[in-house]
Amino acid sequence: MVGQDNRLKALWKLESDFSRMIETFRVSHHISYHRYLRVCKKMPIKYIFSLALIVLNLIGCSGLDYVDVPSTNQNSRVNYLVIHATSALFQESLSLLSTPNPNPVSSHYLVPYSEDPTYTEDDLRVYRLVSEERRAWHAGVSQWGDEIALNDRSIGIEIVNDFKCQNVGNLNANPDSIELECSFTSYPENQIDLVLSLIKEILKRYPEIDPVDIVAHSDIAPNRKSDPGPNFPWEEFYNHGIGAWYDISDFNEQLNKLKKQWPSVLEVQCALSIYGYPLELTGFHDRQSQFAVRAFQLHFRPSNYTGIIDEETTAILYALNKKYRSELVDDKTSCKNYNGE
């Protein structure tokens, strides 16, 4: 048994070395997975032979005869789709997301744009950096609804976009301020078309992803993130069957209600929490509440994202909860101070 164990370890090491070589070759040559077979043809024959030998030996070494009885008591690892923007050009983004660095990050996919001077390919292609079955490091400290650490349950898409944000306020003088200055750039049409195609393919594989769980990075980490920003066309994606958007009839209904009775800050906090935004219910329009409102506005009211609660923002929020979160609105224990039904 000891000899067999050592043999297995050696085989697994050889397989690991082979996998690393394939991935290194692919990334360094900017080769997408759909060209994988052609890449394999370029590999030295000794590695191809080694891989075949590994498979044969592992089959022969297995002492177990498995009986497959698929259980109905299971679900997909993937329940969320998170949209990011890189805040850098293509080559810098690819390097950051695929090579070792002091603060390692990654994503499942990277989508460039053709006008990027650092993107030299003739065709615009999706770069797959991490297999969907594996956990990419893209969400960081995050929460959506009751789900924390969204890396464990999500697919991350990074879109190349050279936006910039910086703090311009004095937190010591005004601790409740979110004085954040951002320069957001647009998304080219062909890049958006590629992202649309990618997400449609992902949703074919994971149809259980709910529309409200296709989120911005800023939605799940509003205190520290602003991407993909106000120029990302969420309504257009909704029109293609991707993500959530409010109905104008519900919006008008909620707007009329608000003119008769304006909610308290606590009620708006409750509504944000019910939809999924992570924040404490303090009853004050404090810094964390402003960030949550700003993130909501970046997604659903991008013409004005000051973080200030206003009629239009609140009506959109209540309309969305009516459309997508009605069971939580009806369940008063989910947020007993909410009054947006």
With a cut of 60, say whether residue 336 has pLDDT above it.
no
Same domain, 220 and 266: no
Residues 6+ apart with CB under 8 A from 10: none
Same domain, 148 and 228: yes
Return the pLDDT at 5.
Answer: 53
HEC profile of the chain: CHHHHHHHHHHHHHHHHHHHHHHHHHHHCCCCHHHHHHHHHHCCHHHHHHHHHHHHHHHHHCCCCCCCCCCCCCCCCCCEEEEEECCCCHHHHHHHHHCCCCCCCCCCEEECCCCCCCCCCCCCCCEECCCCCCCCCCCCCCEECCEECHHHHEEEEEECCCCEEEECCCCCCCCCCCCEEEECCCCCHHHHHHHHHHHHHHHHHCCCCCHHHEEEHHHHCCCCCCCCCCCCCHHHHHHCCCCCCCCHHHHHHHHHHHHHCCCCHHHHHHHHHHHCCCCCCCCCCCHHHHHHHHHHHHHHCCCCCCCCCCHHHHHHHHHHHHHHCHHHHHCHHHCCCCCCC
Average pLDDT, the chain: 85
Whole-prediction pTM value?
A: 0.78
Tens digits of per-residue pLDDT, 157-182? 999 999 999 876 554 445 555 667 89
Contact predicate 155/135, CB 8 Å: no
Same domain, 31 and 101: no
Return the pLDDT at 64.
Answer: 86
Same domain, 215 and 270: no
Range of the domain at 45: 2-61
Same domain, 272 and 156: no
Question: Binning pLDDT at 50, 70 and 90, where does residue 44 land?
Answer: low
Question: Binning pLDDT at 50, 70 and 90, where does residue 76 land?
Answer: confident
Average pLDDT on 9-16 reads 52
With a cut of 60, say whether residue 31 has pLDDT above it.
no
Return the pLDDT at 109.
Answer: 98
Dihedral angle over CA of 264, 270, 273, 275, nearest 10: -90
Return the pLDDT at 77.
Answer: 87
With a cut of 90, say whether residue 329 has pLDDT above it.
no
Q: Are strands 127-128 and 109-111 parallel, antiparallel or unpaired?
A: antiparallel
Same domain, 173 and 228: yes
CATH of the domain at 148: 3.40.80.10
With a cut of 90, say whether residue 59 has pLDDT above it.
no
Residue 158 appears among annotated catalytic residues: yes
Contact predicate 250/168, CB 8 Å: no
Same domain, 219 and 291: no
List the structure tokens of 216: 């911005």
Same domain, 10 and 141: no
Average pLDDT on 189-204 reads 98
Return the pLDDT at 101.
Answer: 87
Same domain, 200 and 117: yes
Average pLDDT on 15-32 reads 52
Return the pLDDT at 15.
Answer: 53
With a cut of 90, say whether residue 55 has pLDDT above it.
no
Return the pLDDT at 118.
Answer: 97
The overall longest dimension of the chain from CA atoms, in Å, is: 80
Residue 142 domain-assigned (yes or no): yes
Number of domains in the chain: 3
Query: Cα 110 to chain center, whole Å?
Result: 11
Residue 340 domain-assigned (yes or no): no
With a cut of 90, say whether residue 324 has pLDDT above it.
yes
Residue 194 domain-assigned (yes or no): yes
Return the pLDDT at 171.
Answer: 47
Which of 199, 222, 239 finishes a domain? 239
Same domain, 133 and 166: yes
With a cut of 70, say whether residue 82 has pLDDT above it.
yes
Give 300 or 328, the one with higher predicted confidence.
Answer: 300
Kindly name the residue from 92, 132, 133, 158 that is annotated as catalytic: 158
% pLDDT > 90, the chain? 68
Which bin fits 213, alpha (ψ -120 to 50), beta or left (φ > 0)? alpha
List the structure tokens of 263: 């909610």
